[in-house]
C-alpha cells in the first residue's frame, strides 16, 4: 500500500463566529498498478471486434491518466464472481484499509478518535447496512455518541458533499470535530458485458483509493478555513450519470453530454465566489473534481483561469485516475504537499457528480505548513 499526506489543518474563531478548518487529508491507494499502455492493450484485445474500437481507444488515450491503482491484480479485476462476492470484497477491503487512513488523518489533525463528534462516510462502489461508520465506532475507539452520516448516492460529488455537511455540523455545534472518509473501489464495478462507448471509456478512467480528513473546531493549526458552502443541481440531468442496479451489481451509465456541463456550472462557481467578495478568476487555489480532462479544460476556460490553476486536480487524474469521491481530498492533499497557499489566500473546493450535482465550498488558507512527507510506504 502507499499512503500520502502529513500535516494538520485546524480552525479559527473570527468575530465571535466559529470558523472550522479542514485538516490535511491522508490518501491510500492499492498496490496493484495498471498503466495507460496496459489499459489500451487490454481494451484492444477484449474488444477487437467492437465497431467503435478506434474511437474508444482514442478517448481512453485522451484521458491523461498515466496509471491507476486497483484493489486486485488486473486478471482478477476482469473477472465477475457476482454482485455478492464483489460487495463482500468491498467490505473486507474497506475494513482493512480504512483504519490506516483514518489514523493518519487523525494524526495530521493532532486528535484522537474519541475527540471526533461526527463521521461522514462516502462511497458509491459498495454497500452495507449498517454503514461502516458503525463498525468504525465499535472497532476504532470512537465514542458511542458519535454521529453517523453515510452518503451513498452522490457519486463523485460526495467528496464535496462530505466536506459541506461536516462544515454545516461543525458550524451548528461550535468546537466539534468531524471526520470525513471516502472509500472508493471503482474496479469492483467493472461489468464485462457492458460495451457501450461511455462504459468502455469509464473502464479506462476510474481507479481505487481511500481518503480521510478531519475538520477541527479549535483555533490552532494550519489549513483551509471553511467559510461558505453551496449546492447546485442542473435541472433535468438526473439520468446523465447514473447506476443501473442489476443482478450483477452496479452498471455505470454515462451520457455523452456530461463533458459539456461546465458551461452551466461555471456561473454557479462564479456566483459563489462573488457572494464571498472574491474574484472567481483570481483565487489562490482551486480544488476541483477531476472527472476528466475535458471537465478541467472547459472550467479553466469558463472561469478564465490558467490551466496551471488546476494542477493538483490534474495530478490526481494523471497518477490515480478518477477516484470518485476521493478526488477532492487527494487534490487538497497535493496542495499541502506543494506548500499550501499564501496566508489568507482564498480558494474553492468543488465536487461534481450525479444529478448533475455540484457541491462547492469557499475557504481561505491559514498558517504555513511544515515540511511534508510524501509516499510513505505501508506494509
For residue 100, is the peptide bond before it cis, meaning its omega torsion is within 30 degrees of 0?
A: no
> Of the listed 156, 170, 183, 186, which one is catalytic?
156
Report the distance separating Cα 349 and Cα 362, nearest Å. 6
Residue for grid cell 433535468: 236
> Minimal CA–CA distance to 160: which of 100, 203, 213?
213
250-278 in b/e form (b: 16+ CB < 10 A) is: bbbbbeeebeebbeebbebbbebbeebeb
Report the distance separating Cα 81 and Cα 78, nearest Å. 10
Report the distance separating Cα 136 and Cα 113, nearest Å. 10
Report the distance separating Cα 324 and Cα 320, nearest Å. 10
23 is catalytic: no
Any idea which residues carry the catalytic annotation? 156
Amino acid at each position: 500500500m502507499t499512503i500520502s499526506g502529513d500535516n494538520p489543518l485546524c480552525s479559527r474563531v473570527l468575530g465571535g463566529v466559529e470558523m472550522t478548518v479542514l485538516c490535511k487529508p491522508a490518501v491510500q491507494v492499492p498496490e496493484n498498478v495498471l498503466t495507460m499502455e496496459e489499459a489500451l492493450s487490454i481494451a484492444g484485445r477484449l474488444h477487437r471486434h467492437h465497431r467503435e474500437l478506434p474511437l474508444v481507444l482514442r478517448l481512453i488515450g485522451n484521458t491523461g491518466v498515466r496509471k491507476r491503482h486497483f484493489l486486485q491484480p488486473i486478471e482478477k479485476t476482469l473477472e465477475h464472481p457476482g454482485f455478492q462476492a464483489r460487495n463482500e470484497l468491498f467490505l473486507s477491503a474497506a475494513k482493512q484499509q480504512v483504519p490506516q487512513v483514518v489514523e493518519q488523518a487523525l494524526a495530521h489533525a493532532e486528535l484522537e478518535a474519541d475527540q471526533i463528534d461526527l463521521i461522514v462516510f462516502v462511497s458509491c462502489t459498495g454497500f452495507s447496512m449498517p454503514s461502516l461508520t458503525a463498525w468504525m465506532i465499535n472497532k476504532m475507539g470512537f465514542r458511542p455518541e458519535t454521529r453517523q452520516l453515510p452518503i451513498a448516492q452522490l457519486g463523485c460529488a460526495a467528496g464535496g458533499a462530505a466536506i459541506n455537511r461536516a462544515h454545516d455540523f461543525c458550524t451548528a455545534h461550535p468546537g466539534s470535530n468531524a471526520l470525513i472518509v471516502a472509500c472508493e473501489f471503482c474496479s469492483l464495478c467493472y461489468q464485462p458485458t457492458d460495451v457501450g462507448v461511455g462504459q468502455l471509456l469509464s473502464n479506462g478512467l476510474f481507479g481505487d483509493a481511500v481518503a480521510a480528513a478531519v475538520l477541527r473546531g479549535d483555533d490552532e493549526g494550519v489549513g483551509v478555513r471553511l467559510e461558505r458552502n453551496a449546492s447546485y443541481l442542473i435541472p433535468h440531468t438526473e439520468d446523465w450519470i447514473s447506476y443501473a442496479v442489476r443482478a450483477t451489481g452496479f452498471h455505470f451509465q454515462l451520457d455523452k453530454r456530461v463533458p459539456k456541463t461546465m458551461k452551466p456550472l461555471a456561473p454557479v462557481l462564479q456566483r459563489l465566489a462573488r457572494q464571498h467578495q472574491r474574484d472567481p478568476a483570481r483565487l489562490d487555489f482551486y480544488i476541483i473534481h477531476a472527472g476528466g480532462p475535458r471537465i478541467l479544460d472547459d472550467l479553466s476556460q469558463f472561469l478564465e483561469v490558467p490551466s496551471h490553476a488546476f494542477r493538483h486536480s490534474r495530478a490526481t487524474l494523471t497518477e490515480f485516475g478518477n477516484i470518485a469521491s476521493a478526488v477532492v481530498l487527494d487534490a487538497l492533499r497535493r496542495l499541502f504537499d506543494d506548500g499550501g497557499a499564501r496566508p489568507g489566500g482564498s480558494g474553492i473546493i468543488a465536487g461534481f457528480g450525479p444529478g448533475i450535482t455540484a457541491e462547492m465550498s469557499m475557504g481561505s488558507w491559514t498558517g504555513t505548513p511544515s515540511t511534508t512527507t510524501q509516499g510513505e510506504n505501508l506494509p
